[in-house]
Amino acid sequence: MKQAVARIVDSGCIALAAAVSAHVPGVLSLDKSPLQVLFVIAILLSSTGLLSAAGGYVGSPARGLRRLCTRLLPAWLGLQCAGLLLLLSTHRQNLALLPWIAWWTAIGATLLASWRLAAVALRTSARRSGQHARNVVAVSSGAYQQQNVATIEPNPHSGFASLDALDIPSVNPSPCAISNEATTGKEIFDRAFALAALIGLGPIFVVIAIAIKLSSPGPVFFRQHRKGLNGRPFSIYKFRSMRVHTEEPGIVRQATRNDSRITTVGHFLRRTSLDELPQFINVLRGEMSIVGPRPHALEHDDLYEPLISGYLDRYRIKPGITGWAQINGYRGETAALEKMARRVEYDLYYLRHRSFWMDIKIVLRTVVRGFFSKQAY
């Protein structure tokens, strides 16, 4: 809205300057030269694009004094010079227009600068009276905080109505969320990869399903509730690798080395990560991604959330079948708090540095060396 108003005001200033200049004593008036009217129209049409390209409408006009001197006025002067050269090259007999163009250029520059200076004065006056001011919170501690508050609060030009201070750590800088463009690209890659994987791995799914049914009674797939993007729960799919058993409510026991619950087929599936293949269904449904932080059991989320800084930031992105932590050795059992903290640290690193090529690198390393792991049992 502000940019549109600035364009209209600039066009009005240029048109007004042209009309005023035509009435300066000794200058040819507009009603005596139709060429003047055409010239004014051409300059008006050109000025909008040129002044915009020069940065005349970036941000608030009241904050563009430096831009006014270094870009806007030079652009206006250049436009007039270019128009004058074009006029003289086609109508050399109209040298009588030179005084009018000179006056127009000078008056136009004055008007363009004047309304911007007036905007600065009005903004400054409004700030001093407390208008358009914002309430802010300064988050820091010790002498540094006191210095910031003492510097900003008394300054009428700061635009801050009040400055509330906090010595308590109330704000936790978190990894940035992925942009919409990056999210769209990741979604396309995930769905295409998952669809191709499910089609290509179809025969392997059949073989694994038969082996599971022959190894022990129970379903082929194991489903468990996990948290996904923004903490929304979903059911994750895996090939069943354990014998059917019951656990105490609210307690999830991670698989350990030589765990008696794991079947012979299940041991092979877990060692090779083949038990994770059904999660391509979750990816196709939009609940998971190919690459991202591995989802944990809900009980583990409740346990580690208050103990590990930044744990909740893992929910800023969809959980993945594989991830940066997994290819760096942090997969499988996480009995020690330090090990889970390191896994979260790797997850947060991925959130800060994620790119398409990083995803490809993680996928390739998972295929080449991630299937067989000493940490998986």
Higher local confidence (pLDDT), 370 or 315: 315
150, pLDDT greater than 60: yes
With respect to residue 172, please indicate whether it lies within any of the assigned structural domains.
no
Q: Are 203 and 328 found together in one domain? A: yes
Lowest-confidence range among 5-14, 40-49, 164-173, 299-308? 164-173
Place of tokens 């436009």: 79
Give domain status of residue 376, yes or no.
no
pLDDT in tens, 160-214: 655 555 574 545 555 555 666 567 778 888 999 999 999 999 999 999 999 999 9
pLDDT in tens, 274-311: 899 999 999 999 999 999 999 988 888 888 888 898 89
What percentage of the chain carries pLDDT values higher than 70? 70
Cross-strand partners of 162 = 135
Indicate if 309 and 288 belong to the same structural domain. yes
Asked whether residue 123 falls in the same domain as residue 267, the answer is no
For residue 377, tell me if it sits in a domain. no
CB 308 within 8 A of CB 212: no
| Per-residue pLDDT at 33 | 64
Of the candidates 278, 271, 296, the one whose C-alpha atom is nearest the C-alpha of residue 220 is 278
Residues in CB range of 72: below 8 A, 6 or more apart: 51, 54, 55, 56, 64, 112
Which residues, at least 6 apart from 187, have a Cβ–Cβ distance to it below 8 Å? Answer: 286
- What is the spatial distance between Cα 66 and Cα 289, in angstroms, rounded to a whole number? 47
pLDDT at 32 over 70: no
Tokens for 23, please give them: 């009435």
Note whether 193 and 321 are same-domain residues: yes
With respect to residue 174, please indicate whether it lies within any of the assigned structural domains: no
Backbone angles phi, psi at 137, to 5 degrees: -125, 125
The total number of structural domains that make up the chain: 3
pLDDT at 18: 86
Is pLDDT of 340 > 80? Answer: yes
Same domain for 217 and 327: yes
Q: Which domain holds residue 161?
A: 134-166
How much is the pLDDT for 251?
58
Say which range, 49-63, 102-116, 317-331, 340-354, has the weakest mean pLDDT: 49-63
203 with 251, same domain? yes
Between 88 and 373, residue with greater pLDDT: 88
Q: What is the pTM of this model?
A: 0.53
Asked if residue 185 is part of any domain, the answer here is yes
Q: What is the mean pLDDT of residues 9-34?
A: 78
